[in-house]
Chain A
Amino acid sequence: MAENSSPLQSQPDAKGEFFRLVAEQGHYGGRTFPTSTRQGLYVCTPGGTTLGALNTRDAGPLLEMLQTALERWDHLAVHATSKAPGEYDRFRPDRYPHGGLVLRAIARDLPRKMDTRIDDWRKIAWNLDYAWFTREEVASLVPDPALLGATAEASPELVRRLGRFHLRDFVRGEPAPWPADALHDAALSSVVTGVSGDTITVSLHGRIRLEAEFRWVRQGDGESHESPCSFDATLSGEAEWDRVTGRFVRFDLAASGPRAGTQQYNNRPDDLGPAPMAVVFELAGDTPRDRTPPHTVLHAQYFGEPA
């Protein structure tokens, strides 16, 4: 199983406590410098006994850890705790937008005329995220009445979240959300291009321009950094709305254009640009994997609440 350890490292509920029980027996147990991260790969019993742990990108050490952990499991006298874990008071509510729109977002650099990037993983990097919108927010994209040629404007909330939280340069890593004043020329509109029975086809068009200066202090040596960042995204796509269920059954949207700058955790210091990048969005499935929350969902303003 796979989960974001950032909230689990501190959240005051039963799941957080279980994670910390496992992690404190592992490779980073007790560590506070240079960070208090507990990220890594663990094998544990359902009762919380850690059988193996490490943090690596290499298959060899991971395989060795897994084999050792399974040997320890085989030698345990008791495998199970006395009772199955029941419901618990969640510190954070589940904000999965049932009945709304769940998109898979993929970011990658687009081809460039003059390419000076180093010929390694950075040249072929891509990354994955998810985007959540409520039923009310996405309904704003469907003209009413849905006659051929009718138009609609996406709600300000949908455009704000799309821009600030999803049009980030996450090709190589984890950038912060854009600040509120970074959003310029932000609009997304739809036009009905087809009506067939209960299915309405709309084309999507728009632009979102983002600009902000990011500043950070590097952990370890305390050195200050700053970088002007931007992404001038042209939006285009097509979607199909099912009138019966009130949901999009297809949603294809591309956001592409020049990006520039770097941030603390997005691995761009050697590629400040401007250079072309795209973030593309498609409907996600409903397996547990596709219910992975958006990377920035814990930000106080993701769903529009004040900071």
Chain B
Amino acid sequence: MAPSFRDIIAAVQPHPDELWQTDLWEARRLALEVGRPIFLWAMNGNPL
């Protein structure tokens, strides 16, 4: 540390402990390619 922008960015960064396909159609194609089912996380908003 009028904190600098670097101070603020550092203060806001998530901790590593707190830290995917994003197109259902592409996921469907990939699932067929590898012969596995799809795990779909769907939310009103963006899950990621």
Residues in chain A within 8 A of chain B (CB atoms): 1-6, 8, 14-15, 18-19, 22-23, 37-46, 51, 66, 69-70, 73, 79-81, 84-85, 88, 106-108, 110-111, 126, 128-130, 174, 204, 236-238, 252-254, 256, 278-280, 282, 287-289, 291-293, 295
**Contact residue among A43, A73, A106, A289 (Cβ-Cβ distance under 8 Å from B40):** A43
Chain B residues with CB under 8 A of A278? 8, 11-12
A288 in contact with B20 (CB, 8 Å): yes
Q: Top 9 A-B pairs ranked by shortest CB distance? A: A2-B47, A5-B42, A1-B27, A1-B21, A254-B8, A254-B5, A236-B5, A2-B41, A42-B40
Q: Mark B9-48, 1 if CB is under 8 A from A, else 0.
A: 1011110001011111111110111010111111111111
CA of A108 to CA of B9, assembled, Å: 10
Q: Could you tell me if B5 and A1 are in contact, using CB atoms closer than 8 angstroms? A: no
A173 and B48 alpha carbons, distance in the complex (Å) = 13
Contact status B22-A291, CB under 8 Å? yes
Q: Which residue of A lies closest to B13 (CB)?
A: A106
A18 to B29, CA, bound (A): 12
Supply 20 A–B pairs (Cβ within 8 Å), ascending by A: A1-B22, A2-B40, A2-B47, A3-B41, A4-B44, A6-B45, A8-B42, A14-B25, A18-B28, A38-B42, A44-B37, A79-B35, A106-B14, A110-B8, A174-B45, A252-B5, A254-B12, A280-B12, A280-B13, A288-B21
Q: Report whether A70 and B11 are in contact in the complex, using a CB–CB cutoff of 8 Å.
A: no
Chain B contacts for A85, CB-based, 8 A? 25, 28-29, 32
Contact of A66 with B32 at beta-carbon distance under 8 Å, contacts A3-B22, A18-B24, A254-B8 already known: no
Q: Tell me the number of A-to-B contacts counted with CB atoms below 8 Å.
A: 159
**Contact status A73-B12, CB under 8 Å:** no
Chain A residues lying within 8 Å of B27, measured Cβ to Cβ, are 1
Q: Chain B: how many interface residues by the 8 Å CB criterion?
A: 37
Q: Are B20 and A39 in contact (CB under 8 A)?
A: no
How close is A186's CB to chain B, nearest CB, in angstroms?
Answer: 18
Chain A contact surface mostly: mixed
Chain A min CB distance to B5 (Å): 4
- In the assembled complex, the CB of B15 is this many whole angstroms from the nearest CB of chain A, namely 9
A46-B28, A80-B32, A252-B6 as given contacts; A39 in contact with B44, CB under 8 Å? yes
Q: Could you tell me if A256 and B8 are in contact, using CB atoms closer than 8 angstroms?
A: yes
Contact A44 B38 (CB under 8 A): yes
User: Given the complex of chains A and B, what is the CA–CA distance between A219 and B39 in angstroms?
Assistant: 30
Q: Is the CB of B11 within 8 A of A1?
A: no
Q: How far is the CB of B29 from chain A (nearest CB, A)?
A: 6
In the complex, the chain B residue whose C-beta lies closest to that of A79 is B35
Given contacts A84-B33, A88-B25, A126-B18, contact A1 B39 (CB under 8 A): yes
Q: Are A39 and B8 in contact (CB under 8 A)?
A: no
Instruction: State the CA gap A130–B47 with chains docked (Å).
Output: 12
Q: Which residues of A contact B21 (CB under 8 A)?
A: 1-2, 288
Task: Give the complex CA separation of A44 and B24 in angstroms.
Answer: 11
Are B46 and A107 neighbours in the complex by a CB distance under 8 Å?
no
A45's nearest neighbour on chain B, judged by CB, is B37
Contact A1:B35 (CB < 8 A) given known A126-B12, A280-B9: no
Known A-B contacts A254-B5, A289-B20; A6 and B37 likewise in contact (beta carbons under 8 Å): no
